[in-house]
Amino acid sequence: MTEIPPDEVSTQLMNQFLEKCDVAIFVYDSSDEFSWMQVLDIYWKVSRLAENNGFNLQYLFVAAKSDLEQKKFIQEDSSRVCNHMNLRPPMFVNHKLRGRTVFQIILLAAQRPDRNILSRKAKWINFVLYSFSAVGVTMLGGLAAIHLRKNKNMKERRQNQKLSHT
């Protein structure tokens, strides 16, 4: 098991390093939104490199400090994002959680390497399709509003023309 600090990811990610890995585990502070965004960025770098070199890694997100109440929206967001990318939702751990340590969570992931392995391209396509569908619905709503407004303006002009001719 090797820990790579966030600021050393670019220098540490080499083919020889990833070749030895079965599971890439991303631990972040669930009470800090910046920590989640940073881990997500690192995940994309690692998954891109692994896929480009033909390595079959399993990815696991571990959210520490999940007992803190003030940032529940980060937990919900991270679970939603993982779901959209067809990844296992983050494992939430805290000092109050008995019987389940980060090490045990890592062992579970290593014992089931076939779970949640989906190519990065497929994950990206799912994410893009979801995003475009949301944008598409918004655009359709906007176009419908413009069309209705034009129709309303046309009707008003016709009525004004009829009134001016009579």
- Residue-level pLDDT at 112: 65
Residues 79 and 147 grouped into a single domain: no
CATH number at residue 64: 3.40.50.300
Q: Could you tell me if residue 156 is inside a domain? A: yes
Task: For residue 84, give the DSSP letter.
Answer: H
pLDDT at residue number 128 = 62
Other C-beta atoms lying within 10 Å of the C-beta of residue 90: 25
Per the structure, how many domains does the chain have? 2
3-state SS, one letter per residue, for 14-34? CHHHHHCCCEEEEEEECCCHH
Rounded to 10 degrees, the C-alpha dihedral 11/12/14/16 comes to 150
Tell me how far CA of residue 80 lies from CA of 31, 52, 83, in angstroms: 16, 26, 5
What is the pLDDT, as a whole number, of residue 116?
Answer: 46
Q: Is 45 helix (H, G, I), strand (E, B) or coil?
A: helix
- Can you give the pLDDT of all 166 residues of the chain as single tens digits? 666 777 776 666 666 677 777 778 888 877 777 887 888 888 888 888 888 888 877 788 887 765 555 456 666 667 677 777 777 767 666 665 555 666 666 666 666 655 544 445 556 666 666 666 666 667 777 777 787 778 777 777 777 777 776 6
Q: Is residue 1 part of a domain?
A: no
Q: Are 68 and 31 in contact (CB under 8 A)?
A: yes
Residue numbers of the domain that contains 111 = 6-117
Q: What are the structure tokens assigned to 137, written together?
A: 């619905």
In this prediction, residue 102 carries a pLDDT of 65
Q: What pTM was computed for the model?
A: 0.54
Query: Which residue's structure tokens are 């997100």?
Result: 61
In a domain, 53, yes or no: yes
